[in-house]
Chain A
Amino acid sequence: MDALMNGLEQLLAGNSIFTLQTLGYYGEGLVTTVQLVFLSLLIGLVLAIPLSIGRGAKRAWIRLPIFFFCYVFRGTPLLVQLYLIYYGVVFVDGIQDTWLWLILEKPFVPALVAFTLNTAAYTTEIFRGAIKSTPKGEIEAARAYGMSQRLMMRRIVMPSAFRRALPAYGNEVIFMLHASAIASVVTIMDLTGAARFVYARFYAPFDAFFFAAAIYLCLTFAILYFFRYLEKKLLAHLKPATG
C-alpha cells in the first residue's frame, strides 16, 4: 500500500493540481455520490412497488393521490424539489434548536429525501407501464387456477413486470446518477462538489471538470453493462431456444 502511494506521489510530482489531497477530495466525493444515488434508488424502488400497484387501483382515493404525486414530481425540475425540501427544512422556525437539527444540519438528508421522492415517482410510472403490459392470457390463467388477486400480483404480475421494466429502470438509474450532480448546489461535497472545489481553488476548469466527467462516464458504463448483464440473465425466457 505504501509503495503504491509512493508511486502515485512520484507520478503526480510534476502536477500542481492533482495532488494526493485533491485526489482525496474526488475520492470522498465519489463515495458521497454513490451513497446518495444508491440509497435514494433503493428507498425509491421500495416505495415504487406499492405505489405502482395503487396507481392502478379501482378506488379513486388511492389512485388519484399517487397519480398527482407522480405528475408533480415528474413534471417539475429536480432542482426545484431539492430547494423546496432543503430550504423548507432549514427555515422551519426553531428547528435549529432541536435535536433534529443534528441530522438535518447536513444537507445530505434533505437531498436524499428529494432524490428518493423523485426516483420513486419515475419508477412508479415505469412499473405501472410494465404491469399494464402483462399479457392478458397470463392473468386469465392465474385467475382460472384459483389465485386470489394478492397471490396473482405477487407470483405472476410483479415478477414478470419487474423483468419487463428492467431496460427502462436501467435508464432511470443512469438518470439518477447524473441528476445527483445537483447535490453540489446545496453544498454537498459529492463528485461534482469536489470538482467545483478544485476548480475554485486552482481556477482550472478543464482539469477539474474533465476529471469528474471521466469518473461519471466510467460509472455510467458500469451501470450500463450491469443492466445488460441482468437483462441477458433475466430476459432469457423471452428468447427462443438455441439448439
Chain B
Amino acid sequence: MIDLHGYGPRLLEGALVTIELAVLSLILAIFLGLLTASAKMSRSWLLHRVGTLYTTIIRGVPDLVLMMLLFFGGQIGINMITDWLYDQFNIDIFININEFVAGVFTIGLIFGAYMGETFRGAFLAVDSGQIEAGRAYGMTQSLVFRRIRFPLMMRHALPGLSNNWMVLLKTTALVSVIGLSDMVRVAAEASKATREPFTFMIIVGIVYLLIASVSEWGFARLQKHYDTGHAEAN
C-alpha cells in the first residue's frame, strides 16, 4: 500500500473542504449569475452598465489576484467599517473574515460573472412564443418565470453550467494559497514534510478527476431531465 505517513485523515478532511467550498461557491455563483443575467437584459441603462462592468472586470483579472484583494483587503475594509461604527455610535463589533467564507465569496463572485454570460445566452435562446403563451393564459410574471422560462432556459444553460462547474472545481485549489486547508494545501504540506511530492500530488490529482467524472455523469442525467420533450439534439 501507499504510505501516507499519517496524512490520510487530513487529506480526507481537505477533500471535504474542497467539495464544500466548491458546492457553496456554485450556489452563490448561480444566484449572482441569474442576477447578472437579469441586469444585463434589463431595460435600465444603469443596471446594464453595472452588469457589464462586473463581468468585464472579473473576466479581465486573474482569480488569484481577486482572491487576495478580497481576502486581505476585505478584512481591512470590514475593520474600517467596524472602527467607524465604534467611533460614531460606540457600537463594538468584531468581524473576522475566515478563509472559508472569503473563499466562497471570491469564487462565487468570480463565477457569478461567467454564469451571468451562460444564463444570458440561455434566456435569449428560449422561444419567446412560449412565454407569450404563458402570459396569454393569465400567468403572473413570477409564475411565468418559475414554471416556463426557467425550466426552458435550463436546457440551454446546462452545458455552460457544467463547463463552469468543472473550471470552478479546479479554481478551488487557489484557496490553499490564502491559508485554507483544502486538499491541495494538505498535500503541499505533506510533500514538503515527507519529501514525497509525487505520492500526495498524484492522489490529489486523482480525486479531482474523480469528482469531475462523477459530476459529468450527474450533469448528463440533469440534461436528460431538461431535454424532456425535445427531439435528440446534438
Contact = CB atoms under 8 A, between A and B. Distances in A.
The reply to whether A and B meet directly (CB within 8 Å) is yes
Interface of A: 71-72, 75-81, 83-84, 86-88, 91, 177-182, 184-185, 192, 195-196, 199, 205-206, 209-210, 212-213, 216-217, 220-221
A221 B68 contact: no
Contacts of A80: 173, 184, 187, 201, 204-205, 208
Contact of B170 (A77, A91, A213, A221): A77
Which secondary structure dominates where chain A touches chain B?
helix
A78 B170 contact: yes
Interface string B203-220: 011001100100000000
A84 B63 CA distance: 21
Contacts of B195: 91
Contacts, number: 114
B40 to A, nearest CB: 19
Given A199-B72, A205-B73, A212-B65, A75 B209 contact: yes
A158 to B, nearest CB: 26
A79 B184 contact: yes
Contact of B69 (A78, A79, A87, A213): A213
A207 to B, nearest CB: 9
A210 B72 CA distance: 12
Contacts of A86: 197
B69 A181 contact: no
A152 to B, nearest CB: 27
B187 A206 contact: no
A91 B69 contact: no
Contact of B65 (A71, A76, A206, A213): A213
A153 B172 CA distance: 40
